[in-house]
Chains A and B, each alone.
Chain A
Amino acid sequence: MDSRKGFHHALEELQHGILKMGVLVEEAIYHAVKSLAKQDLQIAEQVIANDKRINDKMIEIESACLKLLALQQPMASDLRVIGTAMKIVTDLERIGDHAVDIAKTTRRLEGQKLIKELVDTPRMADMIKTMLHDALNSYVKRDVELAMTLATKDDEVDALYKQIFSELQELMEQNGSTVKQATMLLMVCQSLERIGDHATNIGEWVIYMVSGDRTDLNI
């Protein structure tokens, strides 16, 4: 029997809120990378405009967490659910900011011919999307094993990042006129790499929420 039904319902609402925020953030990454690859300014502007919804969602969830802390004095797993929610929304919000950075690059590159066809960057974006998806899934299902897989996936993303990094460096060495655009593309890849780290953080918080143990998946 549950003698705190209302409170536990509020905790479920909190998780729904995070899921909704996660969906917004997933869309933001997808559209930001698409806007870059297709050089579609309209999509980029949409990503930039939508960031407010992500930020508002964060504030909404944070406020709900603080209210529950103050009014319900949660303990044990309930406490960890709330602490985790507050940390995860910060990671999601940062991911949203990185998506905006990518969309802004699309804006800066408007009308320019790309120095190379973007193949690996969208591939990296796909890997990132899977990571975020797995992170959110592990959260909803409280699946520690799935959360643990993020460590390996993050290693793969890091490896691809290094590869793209040296390719762009080579391009710049060969042809000085590519430097301006190549550095922008480097920053895009760095944003994607950072998103991978945030997804890994979410996985770490899921592990904490379920088990109470702190782990470092990003090593």
Chain B
Amino acid sequence: MTTIATQDKIRVQNLNLFYGENQALYDIDLSMQAGSITAFIGPSGCGKSTLLRTLNRMNDLIASVKITGEVLVDNQNIYAPDTDVVSLRKRVGMVFQRPNPFPMSIYDNIAYGPRIHGIKRKRDLDEIVEKSLKQAALWEEVKDRLNKSAMGLSGGQQQRLCIARLLAVDPDVLLMDEPTSALDPISTLKVEELTQELKSRYSIIIVTHNMQQAARISDTTAFFLNGVMVEHGETDKLFTNPGDQRTEDYITGRFG
């Protein structure tokens, strides 16, 4: 009888990443489960955003990047030569620091992805738009102005629109790169609340400079320093009694 191992949604194995001559990530081993939120924290330049971008091959866009090791999504190495990157990025979507709505209507922003993936019928698109906006907790605020430009929304609404746009293509994993750093406190809380509602259906990985945010919303937290993952553990443990002195020094501000 074979034992069934716990299925990791994403597993990073012995990952090293170089920008030209400079190594940015060292021997990263990390597992993330479905239905949970993982936060990456660490000082600027520690490699947390770089690692996030390896998870849907956003680093492919930078010519000098060289990667060794593996990133498995649902047990498939996404760096295998036969990987369909477009399909990968549909399954593993990304939200950025600054909201980046397309200069088109709210409706078209959401319908953009599904249209590209071949959905043409208006009734189907209407359904996807409504469902996605509801999931992103934006529907009530925009349902009467779906044909107005998305550029007229507030920053917080734009960010939730970007999340809705991701959800419209039915991903499994949401990567969030400091998704609230450009938002005011109330909009920040709305996005944080949204992550809690979404996490049962999606794996969420969030890079944040705000340690309190990581503490508030994540299930596990990974701390990075100089390209090394120092510690990855349960968020409540890591913030009350971290296992590594370097984590302790960083989260208590005793860090030079």
Chain A interface (Cβ within 8 Å of chain B)?
1-4, 7-8, 73-80, 212
Q: CA A4 – CA B254 in complex, angstroms?
A: 7
Q: CA A80 – CA B255 in complex, angstroms?
A: 18
Is B240 in contact with A4, judged by CB distance below 8 angstroms? no
Is B255 in contact with A76, judged by CB distance below 8 angstroms? no
Is A4 in contact with B241, judged by CB distance below 8 angstroms? no
Q: CA A4 – CA B211 in complex, angstroms?
A: 15
- A215 vs chain B, min Cβ distance (A): 14
How does the 8 Å CB contact mask read for B178-192 relative to A, with 1 for contact and 0 for none? 000000000000000
Total CB contacts across the A-B interface at under 8 A? 41
Which residues of A are found within 8 Å of B215, using beta-carbon distances? 75
Contact among A4, A79, A80, A212 with B253 in the assembled complex (CB-CB below 8 Å): A4
Is B253 in contact with A76, judged by CB distance below 8 angstroms? no
What are 29 inter-chain pairs, A to B, with CB distance below 8 A? A1-B254, A1-B256, A2-B253, A2-B254, A3-B255, A4-B253, A4-B254, A8-B253, A8-B254, A73-B211, A73-B212, A74-B252, A75-B215, A75-B239, A75-B240, A75-B251, A75-B252, A76-B239, A76-B240, A76-B242, A76-B247, A76-B248, A76-B251, A76-B252, A77-B248, A80-B240, A80-B241, A212-B240, A212-B241
Is A79 in contact with B248, judged by CB distance below 8 angstroms? no
Is A3 in contact with B239, judged by CB distance below 8 angstroms? no
Q: CA A80 – CA B198 in complex, angstroms?
A: 32
- Name the residue of chain B whose CB is nearest to the CB of A79: B240
Is A1 in contact with B255, judged by CB distance below 8 angstroms? yes
Q: CA A7 – CA B254 in complex, angstroms?
A: 11
- Name the residue of chain B whose CB is nearest to the CB of A211: B241
Q: CA A8 – CA B255 in complex, angstroms?
A: 13
How does the 8 Å CB contact mask read for B225-256 relative to A, with 1 for contact and 0 for none? 00000000000000111100001100111111
Contact among B212, B252, B255, B256 with A78 in the assembled complex (CB-CB below 8 Å): B252
> Of residues 210 to 224 in B, which have CB atoms within 8 Å of A's CB atoms?
211-212, 215
Q: CA A79 – CA B212 in complex, angstroms?
A: 13
Chain B interface (Cβ within 8 Å of chain A)?
211-212, 215, 239-242, 247-248, 251-256
- Name the residue of chain B whose CB is nearest to the CB of A72: B253
Most chain A CB within a 10 A radius of its CB, from B215, B242, B254: B254
The 10 closest A-B pairs by CB, nearest first: A212-B241, A1-B256, A4-B253, A75-B251, A3-B253, A78-B252, A75-B239, A76-B248, A2-B254, A73-B212
Q: CA A1 – CA B254 in complex, angstroms?
A: 6
Is A76 in contact with B212, judged by CB distance below 8 angstroms? no
- A70 vs chain B, min Cβ distance (A): 12
Q: CA A4 – CA B252 in complex, angstroms?
A: 8
Which residues of A are found within 8 Å of B256, using beta-carbon distances? 1, 3
- Name the residue of chain B whose CB is nearest to the CB of A74: B252
Q: CA A125 – CA B64 in complex, angstroms?
A: 74
Which residues of B are found within 8 Å of A4, using beta-carbon distances? 252-254
Which residues of B are found within 8 Å of A2, using beta-carbon distances? 253-254
Q: CA A74 – CA B252 in complex, angstroms?
A: 7
Q: CA A1 – CA B255 in complex, angstroms?
A: 6
Is A79 in contact with B255, judged by CB distance below 8 angstroms? no
Q: CA A4 – CA B212 in complex, angstroms?
A: 16
Most chain B CB within a 10 A radius of its CB, from A76, A77, A80: A76
Which residues of A are found within 8 Å of B240, using beta-carbon distances? 75-76, 79-80, 212
Is B252 in contact with A77, judged by CB distance below 8 angstroms? yes
